[in-house]
């Protein structure tokens, strides 16, 4: 990565505004998954050890510029205090005089968490005044919020124009792993793209077709490709306006010598529910009033073989409706193949694929699980992430 990191600057005694992504799931005021908090610990602990005054900032949810009580960061501060074994001070605002006063009380190695930055309308508008108000709190800016790096907001982008601005360790690792995959991959390099909609994955398929040896398609979006081959897909998900695009992707794959893998069979159901009637059919035999909700057993075998023969695999998007146990087998089989693949570097794009490997308790078998769904998708589309671009070059 050609951006400066926390290693490149001296932070002793300095006030460090560190943007993290603590956008974590919560229920009844308790953090239910602290993965993103734990992922930021190396940077926070490093800053503490170096004698910085660590001022953390994050968004939570989408409060749309207003205070939403359930989206306060108090529970996050509590969980962070437990993980650090040190009390984290939490302010009720994210800038202004009260916050400045709290910061003035900090000693070297102390940690303070600001209130949800999205309580202010200027955050998502990247309002220069708000960026300045954040910058006034600190001497240095560190961005460790990979999950929000695709957002050009006041605390992820604007502030970087007012202070020395560097990446944290999580940001560095995410960019290096994904960056290496796209620029200098070990081969065979396989991408597995699933999920609901072709529309959401156009950019990533387009970009990856120039880079991969194998492209595996699954999930709801696969049915538009099946339709493009001329097969009936019953009530399966279809994006009529993307059929031509699906055809062009298959043609492009052929031209480029990319092996394009599609489901050869499917688990179809007579209703979109966990206890629907279901059966396995060949992909060209989907009955007219049934819908494909998972890849079938032959497809699972086929995909497993490709995965086991790869040196690098990137996975984004489930193979079926994995939230329902009846249609989780395909996604589980792919996760299991990744877990079993020895000598294969496995990268899980965030979002539902990360949720799936957690659900199947295979997370510790993966080499890298991205903390950003949208961010890793945009990165894989070949887009520049504003939160990274704004940091100081090496």
Ligand X SMILES: Nc1ncnc2c1ncn2[C@@H]1O[C@H](COP(=O)(O)OP(=O)(O)O)[C@@H](O)[C@H]1O
Query: Of these residues, 147, 296, 320, 351, which one is catalytic?
Result: 351
Instruction: Please select the residue that binds ligand X; options are 122, 147, 219, 386, rule is CB under 6 A.
Output: 219
- 373 touches ligand X by CB under 6 A: yes
CB-based closest residue to ligand X? 195
The edge-to-edge listing of strands for the beta sheet with 345-348 is: 259-261, 214-217, 189-193, 312-316, 345-348, 368-369
351 is catalytic: yes
The distance from CA 170 to its chain's CA centroid, rounded to whole angstroms, is 12
Residue 63 binding result from ligand X15, ligand X, none, given CB thresholds of 5 to 8 Å by partner type: none
The tokens for 336 are 């299991």
Residue whose Cβ sits closest to ligand X15: 373
| Residues 308, 341 contacting (CB under 8 angstroms) | yes
Give the one entry of ligand X15, ligand X, none that residue 147 binds, where binding means its C-beta sits below a cut-off of 5 to 8 angstroms depending on kind. Answer: ligand X15
Beta bridge partners, 140, equal 16
Q: Is 122 a catalytic residue?
A: no
96 is in an annotated binding site: no
Distances (CA, A) of 362 to 182, 325, 333, 369, 374: 24, 16, 11, 11, 22
350 annotated ligand binder: yes
Q: 287: Cβ–Cβ under 8 A, 6 or more apart, which residues?
A: 234, 268, 281
Residue whose C-alpha is closest to residue 331's, from 305, 353, 362 = 353
With CB cut-offs between 5 and 8 Å by kind, which of ligand X, ligand X15, none does residue 197 bind? ligand X
Strand duo 345-348 + 312-316: pairing:
parallel
Q: What is the DSSP letter of 3?
A: B
374 has catalytic annotation: yes
Smallest distance, ligand X15 to C-beta of residue 53, A: 25
The site for ligand X15 (CB under 6 A) is made up of: 21, 23, 62, 147-148, 151, 350-351, 372-374
Of 16 and 385, which CB lies nearer to ligand X15 in the complex structure?
Answer: 385
Please say whether the beta carbons of 272 and 317 come within 8 A.
no
Catalytic residue, from 38, 197, 247, 365: name it. 197
User: Site for ligand X (CB under 6 A): which residue of 38, 125, 197, 231?
Assistant: 197
Only segment of 8-16, 32-40, 98-106, 312-320 that touches ligand X (CB under 6 A): 312-320
CB 196 within 8 Å of CB 219: yes
Residue 316 touches ligand X, criterion: CB under 6 A: yes
Is 192 a binder of ligand X (CB under 6 A)? no
The verdict on whether residue 51 carries a ligand-binding annotation is no
Return the structure tokens found at 107.
């000693």
Cβ atoms of residues 208 and 178 within 8 Å:
no
- State which residue, 63 or 220, has the beta carbon closest to ligand X15: 63
- The one catalytic residue among 125, 374, 382, 383: 374
Q: Applying CB under 6 A, which residues contact ligand X?
A: 195-197, 200, 219-220, 237, 292-293, 316-318, 320-321, 323, 351-353, 373
Residues catalogued as catalytic: 36, 197, 351, 374
Known binding-site residues for ATP equal 201, 292, 323, 350-353
Binding residues for substrate, as ranges, are 21-23, 36, 59-62, 118, 151
């Amino acid at each position: 990565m050609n951006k400066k990191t926390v290693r490149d600057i001296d932070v002793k005694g300095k006030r460090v505004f560190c943007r993290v992504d603590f956008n974590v799931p919560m229920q009844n005021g308790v953090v239910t998954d602290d993965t993103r908090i734990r992922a930021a610990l190396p940077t926070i602990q490093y800053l503490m050890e170096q004698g910085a005054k660590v001022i953390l900032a994050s968004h939570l949810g989408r409060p749309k510029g207003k205070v939403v009580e359930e989206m306060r960061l108090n529970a996050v501060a509590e969980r962070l205090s437990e993980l650090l074994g040190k009390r984290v001070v939490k302010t009720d605002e994210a800038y202004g005089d009260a916050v400045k006063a709290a910061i003035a009380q900090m000693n070297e190695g102390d940690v303070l968490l600001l209130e949800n930055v999205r309580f202010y309308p200027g955050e998502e508008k990247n309002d220069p005044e708000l960026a300045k108000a954040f910058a006034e709190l600190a001497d240095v800016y560190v961005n460790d919020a990979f999950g929000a790096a695709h957002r050009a907001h006041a605390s992820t982008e604007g502030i970087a124009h007012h202070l020395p601005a560097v990446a944290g360790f999580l940001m560095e690792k995410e960019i290096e792993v994904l960056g290496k995959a796209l620029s200098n991959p070990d081969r065979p390099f396989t991408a597995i793209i699933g999920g609901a909609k072709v529309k959401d994955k156009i950019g990533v398929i387009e970009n990856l077709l120039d880079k991969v040896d194998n492209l595996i398609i699954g999930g709801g979006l696969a049915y538009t490709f099946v339709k493009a081959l001329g097969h009936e897909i019953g009530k399966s998900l279809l994006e009529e306006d993307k059929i031509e695009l699906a055809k062009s992707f298959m043609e492009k794959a052929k031209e480029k010598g990319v092996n394009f893998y599609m489901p050869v069979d499917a688990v179809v159901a007579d209703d979109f529910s966990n206890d629907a009637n279901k059966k396995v059919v060949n992909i060209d035999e989907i009955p007219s009033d049934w819908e494909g909700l998972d890849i079938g057993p032959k497809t699972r075998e086929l995909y497993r073989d490709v995965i086991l023969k790869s040196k690098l695999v990137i996975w984004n998007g489930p193979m079926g409706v994995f939230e329902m146990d009846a249609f989780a087998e395909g996604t589980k089989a792919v996760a299991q193949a990744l877990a079993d693949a020895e000598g294969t570097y496995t990268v899980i794009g965030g979002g539902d694929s990360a949720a799936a490997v957690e659900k199947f308790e295979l997370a510790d078998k993966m080499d890298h699980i991205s903390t950003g769904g949208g961010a890793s998708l945009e990165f894989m589309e070949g887009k520049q992430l504003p939160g990274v671009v704004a940091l100081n070059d090496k």
